[in-house]
Amino acid sequence: DALLPAPQNISIISTNMKHFLTWSPVSIQGETVRYSVEFQGEYERDYANESWIPICECSLITVTVCNITEDISATVPYNLRVRADTGSRRSEWGTLKGFFNRITTYLTPPLMKIIVDGYHLLVELEDLGPAFQFCVLYWKKGQESRMQQKMVKEISSTLHLDTMEAGTEYCVKAQTYVEAINRSSNFSEMQCVRAQG
């Protein structure tokens, strides 16, 4: 039997430390094509005879996307490959062009909601998972030079930032920080609120 064509257009979509491998479907008239994915980290390449490790959650799947987040768990270059399989026939491996290193993940500015409760300035931030911290900057409007910073490690709903001077307007912006790759997102849109009084 002729070999199946190898999967093409293999690429990575990586946002906020969630990494997905995608590829174009292999179409064979009258047959269900399944796919299997394997990865190879720098360790496997340099110290373990260039071995490949299967991702069992993406073994003989019919969809053309695989969540590889759990396995891309070190900040080193990874190789990834996909193979098509109809049960009776199998393709060569299609390999991602170039390495993937999670340091290139796209970090989105965090969703942020500012709340005033009397003289108190509070912030609500979206929970992006344990890899994320948040750097929150706040200042009295017009006094950008006297910005204050709070690093938020654990997301709980309404986080208390500070107490405000009566009747004063304060502005706030936030960015995410991922310690594992030592990178930050862009800042969110600035939001300004006024204290009571």
CA gap 113, 191 in Å, rounded: 8
Q: How far is the CB of 32 from another protein (least distance, A)?
A: 24
Under rule CB under 8 A, residue 193 binds another protein: no
What is the layout of strands, in order, in the sheet containing 94-95?
53-61, 34-40, 79-85, 94-95
- The residue with tokens 């108190």 is 120
8 A C-beta contact, residue 18 and residue 12: no
Maximum Cα–Cα distance across the chain: 82
Q: Binder to another protein among 18, 25, 42, 168 (CB under 8 A)?
A: 42
DSSP character at residue 92: P
Q: Given the rule CB under 8 A, which of 88-96, 117-125, 135-143, 185-193 is the region that contacts another protein?
A: 117-125
The helix (H) or strand (E) run that includes residue 36 is: strand 34-40
Q: Binder to another protein among 1, 98, 145, 154 (CB under 8 A)?
A: 154
Q: How far is the CB of 99 from another protein (least distance, A)?
A: 12
- If one counts every other C-beta atom within 10 angstroms of the C-beta of residue 114, the result is 20
Under rule CB under 8 A, residue 110 binds another protein: no
Q: How far is the CB of 133 from another protein (least distance, A)?
A: 10
Q: How far is the CB of 51 from another protein (least distance, A)?
A: 9
Q: Given the rule CB under 8 A, which of 1-9, 20-28, 82-90, 178-186 is the region that contacts another protein?
A: 178-186
Under rule CB under 8 A, residue 167 binds another protein: no
Q: Given the rule CB under 8 A, which of 27-35, 71-79, 89-97, 104-112 is the region that contacts another protein?
A: 71-79
Beta bridge partners of 171: 139, 192
